[in-house]
Amino acid sequence: MESRSSIWALGWLLFFTLVVGENGVVANSSNSKRDGSRDCKFPAIFNFGDSHSDTGTTSAAFDSLGAPRGMSFPGLPGRACDGRLIIDFIAEDLGLPYLNSPEDTIGSNFTHGANFATGSTMINPDVVYGSTVPFHLDVQVSQFFQLKSHAIAQHEQLRNHRNNPPIQNNLPEPKVFSEALYTIDIGSNDKLDNLSISKNMNQFSNSVQRLLRGGAKYLWIHNIGPASCTPSGHNTCKNEPGCVLDQNGCDIKSSKSIQEFNKQLKDTVYKLRAQYPDAVITYVDIYSAKHRLIVNAKNYGFTNPFKFCCGNEFHTCGAVDFNGNLLVNACNDPQKYISWDGLHYSQAANQIVAKFVVNGSFSDPPVPVAKACYKQY
């Protein structure tokens, strides 16, 4: 009898340890992490988006984004900026190399991830709005899966030829794909009327679900920024009849459309969380982070937020004549400008917004990017 009691007690002890946990906290039935005491140590980042996070696709696949772009951080070509983008600062915060585009194969290394973002691209290819770039979000997701299949095949070859590898190892190990951080920053080029936003959200959800079904676990999703408060948005409104600007100089009508997009994006993220409880999906309010910077421009050491460093009303930044000569030079001090070219942010502005973002101040839940593998909702 005593022996049976001991076995019974041992069984309950084992049950308590497995279900309740060593620290007396009820264990979660899903595979999502909940500890949160240590950094996640993401081995890679896979990024999807438009020009706000494009680190080379447009430059490699279409026109080279040359000088004066990159003037503040030489050695990082292909960005619509004088230097680094928010995605570059996220990579720095996670201790990872800057991301290469799969379109730029010369000297690129994808062992720590890849960046599929493409300038002027959209979420929904069915809602054409001033863009003919074919690399919309679902195409970027397809490119990712192509990279993943090549990576799996490459490492299989390497395992079969350990002593004399037939190829160079420049793709992620298969296990990296389930451990990586997936970042998404897209929507700025999509049409923002009510019907189009609804279509955008359906397409966005479908594309993200492809990633989740394909093994992605940790997603970091940015909403879209206040384009209504950029020099381009401000000046476009001023030149249109019936324009109404708010006290901060932002186009009120455009701001409402952007906020509706972001509201529906947040709702979509919540639905995805419910559908995929084993995933950890963080929603990041880039709109509020950038809006704070614009409204408090002088406090952060910037000039008038509606002035920009590169380009003018006649020529875009980087425009050249038939002989390849620049038609307009950039300013000498881009660090004093929030806007680099009227639409995109300067490196100095990106760095401040990135500081807001990586510490979790504008995230839902409020978790820093380094701990975005832990479920806090």
pLDDT in tens, 318-339: 999 998 899 999 999 999 999 9
| Residues 83 and 131 placed together within one structural domain of the fold | yes
Among residues 32, 50, 51, 196, the one annotated as catalytic is: 51
Catalytic residue among 136, 222, 291, 344: 344
Do both 71 and 108 map to the same domain?
yes
183 and 62 in a common domain:
yes
Number of domains composing the chain: 2
Residues 153 and 18 in one domain: no
Known active-site residue 188: no
Closest listed residue to residue 278, CA positions, set 226, 342, 212: 212
Q: Are residues 258 and 164 in the same domain?
A: yes
* pLDDT confidence tier of residue 140, bands split at 50, 70 and 90: very high
Assigned domain for 325 exists: yes
Could you tell me if 331 and 356 lie in one domain? yes
Please indicate, yes or no, whether residues 3 and 149 belong to a single structural domain of this protein: no
How far is Cα 45 from Cα 112, in angstroms, rounded to an integer? 7
> Is residue 265 domain-resident?
yes
Contact (Cβ atoms closer than 8 angstroms) between residue 85 and residue 346: no
- Under a CB-based contact definition with an 8 Å cutoff, are residues 96 and 113 in contact? yes
In a domain, 303, yes or no: yes
Please provide the average confidence, as pLDDT, over all residues in the chain.
89
Do residues 25 and 46 both lie within one domain?
A: no
Integer CA distances (angstroms), 82 to 339, 340, 351, in order: 10, 7, 12
Residues 22, 57 within the same domain: no
Report the pLDDT averaged over residues 200-216. 97
Residues 55, 88 contacting (CB under 8 angstroms): yes
Mean pLDDT of 8-17: 41
Is residue 279 domain-shared with residue 227, that is, in the same domain? Answer: yes
> Does residue 130 register a pLDDT over 70?
no
Residue 204 forms part of a structural domain: yes
Q: Which of 50, 54, 88, 341 is catalytic?
A: 341
**For position 301, which CATH number holds?**
3.40.50.1110
Is 344 an annotated catalytic residue? yes
Q: Is residue 129 part of a domain?
A: yes
pLDDT band at 149 (very low <50, low <70, confident <90, very high): very high
Same-domain pairing of 73 and 168: yes
In a domain, 376, yes or no: no
Strand partners, 184: 48, 221
Per DSSP, the three-state class of 170 is coil
- Given a contact cutoff of 8 angstroms between Cβ atoms, the answer to whether 345 and 286 are in contact is no
Instruction: Return the pLDDT at 18.
Output: 38
Q: Compute the average pLDDT of residues 153-163.
A: 85
Shared domain check, 149 and 60: yes
Q: Confirm whether 35 is domain-assigned.
A: no
Domain of residue 13: give its range: 1-30
Tell whether 179 is covered by a domain.
yes
Q: What is the pTM of this model?
A: 0.89
Cα 97-99-100 angle, rounded to 5 deg: 125
d(CA 42, CA 369): 10
Hey, what amino acid is at 221? I
